[in-house]
Each structure stands twice: as structure tokens, then as C-alpha cells.
Chains A and B, each alone.
Chain A
Amino acid sequence: MSTLKILVVDDEPGIRSGVSRILRNFRVDYPFMDEAVEFEVMEAATGEAGIEIIDTGEPDILLLDNKLPGIQGIEVLEYIKKKQKNIIVVMITSYASLELAVKATSDGAYDFIPKPFTPQELKSSVENITKRVFLKKMTNKLQDTGKQIRFTFLSVLSHELKAPLNAIEGYLKMIRDRQNGTRLEDYDIMIDRSLDRIQGMRNLILDLLDLTRVESGKVKRNIAQVDLTTIARTAMDTMRPYAIQRDVTMNLQNDGPVLYNCDAEEMEIIFNNLISNAIKYNKEGGRVDFTLGRENGCLFIRVVDTGIGMSQAELEKIFDDFVRIKNEKTKNISGSGLGLPIVRKMIDNYAGKIEVTSAPDQGSTFIVRLPIDKPCS
């Protein structure tokens, strides 16, 4: 149970005690709210006394009469606006003139209750406000979480971008200071490592662009019927030099066309990521088997590798931003840590699913399921 504080500012004692009585046992409860809300009523007979309570008692809701003995209701409203108080104001007024209504609304009043009001009128107005307060709280909470996620992302990103710069700078200084003497050949390793780090940084930036593309939701998607087999072939051709270098063979298990309504570029990104991972985390002489097909009214894309595999604990983390599995076997493998997060977000856009099974030293299987007409089971 939580409590909202209501302040009634009205010079008629009957109105004040009426509000107190009506709201004393009133509760607002909705299934979507964590807890029911009840109300604590505070009273003030003048605008001056009201302002004092506004400053000390921190009410959530203000029921405000406009015609008061000293300062007017509209002035109390202006005070709240000036002090940027987080209070929802409802004007209680006996002759609701249009002019006053416009002025009060522009000064931040949320609702009007005509005087005299029935208990039901008061209750329904308070109920609406309670919903609004609850939703506002939820929105603030979500925004805070969003900010935190963004902050963490940027912290890690700046670390990932700084590391290669530091490494390259370090090597350049060693070369400048002729650390290994005057023979250029003695610096080959440093130069090669610098070039590797530059390539790594370039890959990271490319992945960031893919991630932005999928997260912004602003890039125009070209949904059309495309043949996934063709896209798979292209992806494999792109990766072939890398596969040869790692002594890994790639096999496309189907040859007929597999048509699907999607954005061809997005599918390329998904396929490239899955295939490059399957090669990257493979063993010398290993295999990558790529299969496309239909099953239970869904499309599936299966990528099986005979690589180093993962433990259960490692599996649980691989779709998080910047996570890289670090162990003896992955020591010399570079990557941005964004490939699988990109893949998963893109698949989410198709209401699809991605499943992984893996065993250390046995290899991993990634299966993507994409809906055709109805959701995938």
C-alpha cells in the first residue's frame, strides 16, 4: 500500500471536511499497479497557508479553490509553476469561467471539478490523477534505466576504442625512440601489430554502424522477397579467404532457392556474423555446415561448427554488448564483441528466435528461426 498526499485549499470548512471524509477510505487499485494507493488529506483555509504546506508537507495532489480570501488560487498555481514543484493541481471552482479555465490550464492545472461536486465526481478525478502519477513514476524509472544502459555502453565503448589507440601509440613511440636499434626489420612485429589493431578498430566501427542501424529504427528497410541461398553463397564467398587462412572448410547444405520476405542487407549482416564466428572459433581442419530450410511453418538457418565450443556459463553471456569469451583458446582471436548482439537484435525485428547449443571442444550450433505466416513455436 502506498499513500498519496492531497492538499485541499478552500475557505469553506464544509468543502475541506467533505473532501477529507470522501477520500478517507478511498482506494485506487489497478491490476497493472504494484500496489493499491490510499490518500492522506491535508487542509488549508487560505492560499498563504496552502503555500506553507506545499513547501513543508510535499503534497502530490492539490485541490485548489480559486476564490480565496487573500491571494487567489491562480496565484498559488503560479507559485507552484515558479518553484517547479511536482504537484498535480485540480481547480475547484463554483462558476467555471472559460477565461479562468484557460489561464489555469496554461499555468499547469490538470483538471477542474465544479462546485458543488458529488463524492463520485471527486473520486473519479482523483482516480485519474492517481493513474497519471503512477505512469509518470514508471516513465521516470524507465528513462533512468535507459540512461544507465547507455552510460555503461559508452563507458565500455570508450575503453574498447582507447585500447587499440594506446597500443598503436606505444609501438610508435618505441619505433621513434629506436628501441630496437636502427634496423627497420627489427620493428616489423610492432608495425604488424599496429596494423592488426587498426583493423580491429575498423571492424568495431563497422559493427557499431550495424548496431546503430538496427537500434535507431530510422534506417529505411527494404523488405522484398529474396533468395536466402544466394545471400548465403555471397556471405561464404566473402569469408572464403579467411576460411582458407584458418584451414576451415565451409559447406552449404542446400542448393535450391529459399525465398523469404526480408531486407537483404540485414540478412547479409546476420549470415556474415554467424559464418565468421563459425570460422573464427573453429579448429584447424574444422568444418562449418550451413543449412537453410523450412520446418513447422518456419524458416530455419542452421550454422554448425566443429570449433572450440563454449561452457554453459559462457553461453549465457554471448548476446550481451561487448562480451567476449576470454580464455586460453580465444586468446589470439580478435573481435568487437558486438557481432551476436547485432544478430540478435536484427532477428528480434523479424519476431524470430536464435538458439545456441554448444559444448567445449566439440563445437557450437546456432539456429535462427524466422516466422513465415505465424509466430514460430
Chain B
Amino acid sequence: MRPSDYTILLVDDDQDYLFQLRVRVEGFGYRTLTAESQKEAEELLEKTRPDLAILDLMMENEDSGFILCYKMKKRYPDVPIIIATGVAAETGISFDIHDENNRKWIKADRFLEKGIRSERLKEEIDNLLLKNNR
């Protein structure tokens, strides 16, 4: 399959970050869907099954990304999810993403830093999609 056969859902409440992420991911050749909140993403997911999702952590609530991830995995267990965080800032508030127990129930496939370089982001996306289609 070619990259353009895959649709990637991007969710972030920072419209600038969302725009920049979309440009990057579309630059890799993938199609994208975007949502600016947990709520908007949930509405999208009612109608569509993306092939992968990249979620922000703090949106309407500080744990929106986790809740969204949990709900999404329930509905589409096979769709890989990347949670993008500003790590240092988002630990110690209500969740610690490095905590094994939290990771267990959150069930995200990858936790990535928001500042990740484009080549590595592409690698991560490719790996998850490939693993899924083997």
C-alpha cells in the first residue's frame, strides 16, 4: 500500500501545532483528518475509522488525550495510537506517562515528544502502520 492509502487522525487543541503537524504528516504522503478537541475527535470517530491517530494530552481537560485513547481503543482495538506530549510539563499533573500502571490502562502504542524530528516521526508512523498490516 502507498502512504496515500492511509488516513491519520490528528487531534490537538493548539491550532498552530495542529496545522504544523498536518503539514508534516501530509508531507510524508499520508491523508489526514484533524480535530481540535476530544469531543470533536469523538464525533469524527463515530463516522470514520482512521488507520492511525496522533493525540495531544492536555485538551479540554488535562487528561483528554488519555480518555480519548481509551475510548478509541475500545471502539477500534487495532488502530495504533501515538500520544504526543510536552513530557516535562505534562508529568506530575494528574498523570505520569512514565508510570507503568498508567501505561497499562492507557494502552497507547507510543508516547512521543512534541518536538520530535520529522524523520523520526515518519519512522514511528511507518513502523506502526507496517506492524499493523503484516
Q: Is A bound to B?
A: yes
> Which residues of A does B touch, CB under 8 Å?
151-152, 155-156, 158-159, 162-163, 166-167, 170-171, 174, 179, 193, 197, 326-328, 331
**Residues from chain A with Cβ under 8 Å of B91 in the complex:** 155
| Given A166-B86, A326-B37, A159:B58 Cβ within 8 A | yes
Residue B20 contacts which of A156, A158, A159, A170 (CB distance < 8 angstroms)? A170
17 residue pairs of the A-B complex, CB under 8 angstroms, read A152-B93, A155-B89, A155-B92, A156-B93, A158-B88, A159-B58, A162-B86, A162-B89, A163-B17, A163-B86, A170-B16, A174-B23, A193-B16, A193-B19, A327-B37, A328-B40, A331-B36
**Residues from chain A with Cβ under 8 Å of B39 in the complex:** 327
**Is there contact, CB below 8 Å, between A197 and B92?**
no
**Is there contact, CB below 8 Å, between B16 and A197?**
yes
In the complex, per-residue mask of B74-105: 1 if CB is within 8 Å of any chain A CB, else 0: 00000000000010111111000000000000
Which residues of B, 59-79, contact A by the 8 Å Cβ criterion? 59-60
Q: What is the CB-to-nearest-CB distance from A371 to chain B, in angstroms, rounded to a whole number?
A: 36
**Residues from chain B with Cβ under 8 Å of A327 in the complex:** 37, 39, 60
Return the chain A residue nearest B62 by Cβ.
Answer: A156
Residue B86 contacts which of A159, A174, A326, A328 (CB distance < 8 angstroms)? A159
**Residues from chain B with Cβ under 8 Å of A156 in the complex:** 89, 93
**Residues from chain A with Cβ under 8 Å of B115 in the complex:** 166
**Is there contact, CB below 8 Å, between A326 and B89?**
no
Q: What is the CB-to-nearest-CB distance from A144 to chain B, in angstroms, rounded to a whole number?
A: 15
| Given A152-B93, A159-B89, A166:B17 Cβ within 8 A | yes
* Complex: A158 Cα to B17 Cα, angstroms: 17
**Residues from chain A with Cβ under 8 Å of B114 in the complex:** 166
* Complex: A343 Cα to B72 Cα, angstroms: 40
* Complex: A328 Cα to B37 Cα, angstroms: 9
**Residues from chain A with Cβ under 8 Å of B40 in the complex:** 328
> Which residues of B does A touch, CB under 8 Å?
13-17, 19-20, 23, 36-37, 39-40, 58-60, 86, 88-93, 114-115
Q: What is the CB-to-nearest-CB distance from B93 to chain A, in angstroms, rounded to a whole number?
A: 5
**Residues from chain A with Cβ under 8 Å of B16 in the complex:** 167, 170-171, 193, 197
**Residues from chain A with Cβ under 8 Å of B58 in the complex:** 159
Q: What is the CB-to-nearest-CB distance from A283 to chain B, in angstroms, rounded to a whole number?
A: 21
| Given A155-B93, A170-B16, A179:B60 Cβ within 8 A | no
**Is there contact, CB below 8 Å, between A170 and B90?**
no
* Complex: A162 Cα to B89 Cα, angstroms: 9
**Is there contact, CB below 8 Å, between B20 and A167?**
yes
Q: What is the CB-to-nearest-CB distance from B100 to chain A, in angstroms, rounded to a whole number?
A: 21
Return the chain B residue nearest A197 by Cβ.
Answer: B16
* Complex: A155 Cα to B57 Cα, angstroms: 14
**Is there contact, CB below 8 Å, between A158 and B89?**
yes
Closest A-B pairs by Cβ, 3 of them: A167-B16, A159-B89, A170-B20
Residue B23 contacts which of A159, A163, A179, A328 (CB distance < 8 angstroms)? A179
| Given A156-B93, A159-B58, A159-B86, A167:B23 Cβ within 8 A | no
**Residues from chain B with Cβ under 8 Å of A331 in the complex:** 15, 36
**Residues from chain A with Cβ under 8 Å of B59 in the complex:** 326
Q: What is the CB-to-nearest-CB distance from A165 to chain B, in angstroms, rounded to a whole number?
A: 10
Given A167-B20, A197-B16, 15 extra CB contacts under 8 A? A151-B92, A155-B90, A156-B93, A162-B86, A163-B14, A163-B17, A163-B86, A166-B86, A167-B14, A171-B16, A171-B20, A179-B23, A193-B19, A326-B59, A331-B36
| Given A159-B58, A331-B36, A170:B17 Cβ within 8 A | yes
Return the chain A residue nearest B61 by Cβ.
Answer: A326
